[in-house]
Structure 1
């Protein structure tokens, strides 16, 4: 006999069980339950991986990975500073900026905005904003009064490329300003007429708040010298290590700065993804556990049906470990078959999840993810070998644990009592 005795007996019992009506139904239900749990868990984890990837590649292509913002005095000689920062091992690129809050006005319409003065060429090395232009050209930002705005702002103000709008900014208080002017209760905002030279559509709240102007104009409006900036934006090699990288860069910096990174401004999205991943993993593992423990019912019925066989095996000298292993193998087959079915279906669905959801949206004319609310308008997916392996191993362990008690009960059958009754 080429296979161990316990495996041989277990396979015989599995084949004979298929002819039993009710026990066969219980066995099939446990197998199907495990398959569904494994399949759904693989699909859910792939969707969470997809959101994580979209966060890193899409959202963080616009949102700054990290920023060094001056505490009190502006950062001078920004070109030399940018060159120095780009020599840091984990910094891919750096770019200067000046930002402030303001209002944009067109006729009677007003919209609160964040105005960011950037160097047109340097910004392209740390941001993919030019790829999301829907109207106009990013290069036109070099015009003296040019401004690039988000699609949400353009819709709110009903403006398009070529229109002139009023930009209202906080008043600049300089050292030579009069005391009365500095202490005005209602200071007069700085007004500047700008021309819309481009509109970008990225998705989410960024479209509703962000306005770009060129760095020279922002310096003029906010009282900075030609080579001074408010801060330096960083693009780092590992976005999920951004807080640590920004701290390391700031440690070697020559000026007092505030440290900011994307985990402070948009970290809630990443935390939400991790929380949903954990909750769904726990819930679906419990689903698999419930399905696995149907194996208990199947094996207990099998033990009751096979008492005479167990008694004969014991009489012939079979060890308790052999009998226990036979029934454990019989129950484990449910887990193995369920895992195989669930894994195949889960991988198939996970690889095609985006297309499947788009087909459902088209068929029923619904939209599950809106780019006006979320930063993407599709359901992303990314299948990882680690998730599949972890899911399968967990399901098999739960299936194996479910077989222990019924298999142990089988070893407690007394041959004398069973054969005497027979």
Structure 2
């Protein structure tokens, strides 16, 4: 019953006519500050999540997530069969792969790329994006190659042309001296993925790649692992591997992009959080003013039997009310604004036409932002509430 009294008095103090005008101004300022802070955090988080998801779907999907290989970058698949690694957690699919950095030469230009030798054209994500050519032309011994459209433009080649693939770290002896191993390939297709793969990747038959790299029989670069969630590679890479195998993953080639986005997300979140911290300071100030104004009433309540904890609850409820309203309004407006952010930005003229920001609203992030905002507000109410609960009735009622 006594706890209900604390709640009743706490909710009664929430009424604006129980606080002076300056206290009302500070409480409103606290609520507005928390609302703006929550909206900003939700929008920033949604945009950063969108960028991260966009990079994952447009970049990581087309490149090897993980390659299990040896220190020499070559393994014997009979010594390390696929059954040896099938129990690794987080794997969606496993394929053999031959993988190497190569030089490229056309009739008019030179360049570089990453040669990926695959066993079959079936279910190849890159060959599913062909804009010219047929996947079925990927035949062992045909020495056909498929290029990204940007790489083809750089080398000034088109479908049906020939391109020379050079393996710089494998030297062969010829009548004219030592030269890198090389061979002419037929351009059997061009793919377009709208990702970095278009500018640096080329696909050949796995057996053709093995011959180019002079691998012994039954040898490949490694086992290619497709992960269910490529962004969990930090945790998955800590698993114990079979002896002789090492873990290499996409972080070696694209890790800096994702780390940059993650760091930017954290820094932006920290900067925007200062709005909430300022609002929390306003809560402290408004509660101090309320405590000063209600000193006599607090003293009377204590003489009527309310203890320190019950007085503490009264003012904590008062402080939480400022944040709860701000969090509720901010969460609703933050989600709505994130959903329509591209329309708002284009209306304001901040983005050119046909350019949109990737947006991904993670409702768990929204709940996390709301939860920690309320926690910060509760912490902000503790000190002024303790001051209120420590008031001695005799000091304030002696002159009444």
1:188 to 148, 172, 179: 179
In 1, Cα distance between equivalents of 2:342 and 2:145: 37
Q: CA offset at residue 219 of structure 1?
A: 3.0
Q: Residue 276 of structure 1 aligns with which residue? A: 264
Q: CA offset at residue 304 of structure 1?
A: 2.9
Closer, same or farther: CA 227–321 of 1 in aligned 2, 3 Å = closer
- Scaled by the length of structure 2, the TM-score of the pair is 0.81
In 2, Cα distance between equivalents of 1:420 and 1:170: 95
Q: CA offset at residue 246 of structure 1?
A: 6.7
Q: CA offset at residue 265 of structure 1?
A: 3.0
Q: CA offset at residue 337 of structure 1?
A: 0.8
Q: Which runs of 5+ in 1 are unaligned?
A: 371-376
Q: Residue 136 of structure 1 aligns with which residue? A: 133
1:231 to 199, 222, 225: 222
In 2, Cα distance between equivalents of 1:171 and 1:294: 66
Conserved? CA contact 1:292–1:399, under 8 Å: yes
Conserved? CA contact 1:332–1:400, under 8 Å: yes
In 1, Cα distance between equivalents of 2:85 and 2:390: 72
Matches within 5 A, 1:31-46: 31-46=31-46
Q: Residue 144 of structure 2 aligns with which residue? A: 146
Q: Residue 84 of structure 1 aligns with which residue? A: 83
Q: CA offset at residue 417 of structure 1?
A: 5.6
Matches within 5 A, 1:88-107: 88=87, 90=89, 91-107=91-107
Matches within 5 A, 1:284-295: 284-295=272-283
Q: Residue 211 of structure 1 aligns with which residue? A: 202
Conserved? CA contact 2:171–2:179, under 8 Å: no
Closer, same or farther: CA 160–20 of 1 in aligned 2, 3 Å = farther
Matches within 5 A, 1:137-176: 137-142=134-139, 144-170=142-168, 172-173=170-171
Q: CA offset at residue 294 of structure 1?
A: 0.3
Conserved? CA contact 1:41–1:391, under 8 Å: yes
In 1, Cα distance between equivalents of 2:329 and 2:112: 54
Find the residue that maps to 1:121 and give its secondary structure: coil
Indicate yes or no: 2:379 matched with 1:401. Answer: yes
Aligned length: 398
Conserved? CA contact 2:59–2:197, under 8 Å: no
Conserved? CA contact 1:243–1:263, under 8 Å: no
Find the residue that maps to 1:266 and give its secondary structure: helix
Indicate yes or no: 2:5 matched with 1:5. Answer: yes
Q: Residue 345 of structure 1 aligns with which residue? A: 333
Conserved? CA contact 1:86–1:93, under 8 Å: no
Q: CA offset at residue 138 of structure 1?
A: 3.2
Find the residue that maps to 1:217 and give its secondary structure: helix
Find the residue that maps to 1:27 and give its secondary structure: helix
Q: Residue 301 of structure 1 aligns with which residue? A: 289
Deviations 1:293-338 (A, max 9, x none): 2012212222233334334434544444433322222122101111
Deviations 1:335-386 (A, max 9, x none): 1111111222233344x2xx6337635874836999xxxxxx852414142x
Find the residue that maps to 1:128 and give its secondary structure: coil
CA RMSD of aligned residues (A): 3.8
Matches within 5 A, 1:304-343: 304-343=292-331
Conserved? CA contact 1:94–1:234, under 8 Å: yes
Indicate yes or no: 2:350 matched with 1:379. Answer: no
Q: CA offset at residue 407 of structure 1?
A: 2.6
Q: CA offset at residue 278 of structure 1?
A: 3.5
In 1, Cα distance between equivalents of 2:303 and 2:353: 64
- Scaled by the length of structure 1, the TM-score of the pair is 0.78
Q: CA offset at residue 192 of structure 1?
A: 2.9
Find the residue that maps to 2:64 and give its secondary structure: coil
In 2, Cα distance between equivalents of 1:9 and 1:274: 45
Find the residue that maps to 1:112 and give its secondary structure: strand
Q: CA offset at residue 33 of structure 1?
A: 0.9
In 2, Cα distance between equivalents of 1:70 and 1:308: 78
In 2, Cα distance between equivalents of 1:363 and 1:138: 46
Q: CA offset at residue 416 of structure 1?
A: 5.5
In 1, Cα distance between equivalents of 2:74 and 2:291: 81
Find the residue that maps to 1:25 and give its secondary structure: helix
Q: Residue 374 of structure 1 aligns with which residue? A: none
In 1, Cα distance between equivalents of 2:240 and 2:380: 53
Conserved? CA contact 1:82–1:96, under 8 Å: no
Conserved? CA contact 1:347–1:383, under 8 Å: no
In 2, Cα distance between equivalents of 1:194 and 1:10: 80
Closer, same or farther: CA 193–362 of 1 in aligned 2, 3 Å = farther
Find the residue that maps to 1:117 and give its secondary structure: strand
Higher mean alpha-carbon deviation, 333-342 vs 277-286, is at 277-286
Indicate yes or no: 2:65 matched with 1:61. Answer: no
Find the residue that maps to 1:148 and give its secondary structure: strand
